[in-house]
Structure 1
Amino acid sequence: MVRFRDFLARFRPVGTPGAPTAGVPADRAAELAAELEQPLDGLAQAQAEAAAIRAEASAEAERIRQEAARNAERIVELAHARAPQVRADAAAAAGHAAAGRAAEVAAAAERTAAGIRSRARERMPALADRAAALALEPADNSGRNRWQQAGSPE
């Protein structure tokens, strides 16, 4: 890096004030090139390092992508391997739920049947008496069907 003192030296006159004397004029282009050479070399080195870091990062990213793809494939394989067991577990759970619902329906049906049997027991004596009365009734009405309820049209 150029020192500040050398930087200021660029602005000094080449010769002493006064009458012109013979001398070599200062080469400003060479001085500027020499001044910028070291920073530009440092910049080129920094660019090379940045390119190397980008290349390394790109390779690392590719390695991570490949590893992630392998992990995804393993996860999918495990899922496919576990799928039959998961289906069986789901079917068993659904079967248990269906069995519980079937038991509820059967209990409701049994309650309905018990109600019907109870009503039948209550009504049976009256119906049996009526059937016996109809069976024992004399057949004096020749045009009437004896099993037809009284008062109903023929």
Structure 2
Amino acid sequence: MTGFRDFLTRFRPAASPGRAAPSGVPADRSAELRAELAPPLALLEQVEAEARSVRDRAEAAAAARRREAEQQAEEIVAEAQEEAGRVRARAAEQVARAAETEAAELLAEASREAVAVREHAVSRTPALADRVLALVVEDLSAEESPLASADRPAPGPKRPPEGGL
């Protein structure tokens, strides 16, 4: 890069005032500017190449991270699906156990009720048998006496006594 002194020399007169000097080669200002700007532009090209390299490396790193993140996401989804299967199995097992417990309780209750009904039937059977026997005997004795049939009501089921069947 040119220094400040070279910069200032552009503004100096080429010759002292006076008689005309012999003509020379005209100054090539564009070549001078190119020569002056070549070193900073070369540095800029270097920086641009380095920036491109950094950008390419960053894109490659981003793509690698993206692939890694996708793989992790797939693994997480697979683990979640496996865990969901295990959770469903545990829930089904708990529901089945609860249903078995409830069924066992209902069966025990039904057994207790059946025993109670049997006991009630056994306790009432002698009284009912006595009533049936009395009715049959009454019907049989009524058939033997024709006069008695006019005085008595028609045979059939009688009204049960209070408090029982």
- TM-score bucket (shorter structure): 0.5 to 0.7
- Aligned residue for 2:34, secondary structure, equals helix
Greater relative contact order (Cα 8 A, min sep 6): structure 1 or 2?
Answer: 2
Instruction: Give, in whole Å, the separation in 2 of the partners of 1:20 and 1:103.
Output: 133
Asked whether 1:100 is paired with 2:98, we answer no
Q: In structure 1, how many angstroms separate the alpha carbons of the residues matched to 2:89 and 2:134?
A: 67
TM-score with structure 2 length normalisation?
A: 0.55
- Paired residue for 2:130? 132
CA distance in 2, matches of 1:92, 1:108: 24
Moved runs in structure 1, 4+ residues, more than 2 A? 1-10, 13-28, 54-111, 127-135, 140-146, 148-151
| SS of 1:96 mapped into structure 2 | helix
Change in 2 beyond 3 A, CA 1:129/1:110: closer
Give the TM-score of the pair, scaled to structure 1. 0.58
Q: State the percentage of identical aligned residues.
A: 38
Distance 1:20 1:143 in 2: 175
* Equivalent residue, structure 1, for 2:163: none
For residue 159 of structure 2, what is the amino acid of its counterpart?
A
Q: Unmatched 5+ residue regions in structure 2?
A: 143-148, 161-165
Aligned-pair CA distance for 1:110: 5.5
Matching residue's letter, 1:35:
E
Deviation of 1:82 (Å) = 7.5
Aligned to 2:13: 14
SS in 2 for 1:39: helix
1:1-154 residue pairs with structure 2 within 5 A? 1-10=1-10, 12-15=11-14, 18-19=17-18, 21-22=20-21, 25-71=26-72, 88-106=89-107, 109=110, 113=113, 117=116, 121=120, 124-125=123-124, 128-129=126-127, 131-137=129-135, 138-139=138-139, 140=142, 144=154, 146=156, 148-150=157-159
SS of 1:13 mapped into structure 2:
coil
Mapped partners of 1:37, 1:109: distance in 2? 105
Aligned residues: 146
Q: Deviations over 1:3-22 (max 9, x none)?
A: 44444444x13335645743
Q: CA RMSD in A?
A: 4.5
Q: Which has the larger radius of gyration?
A: 2
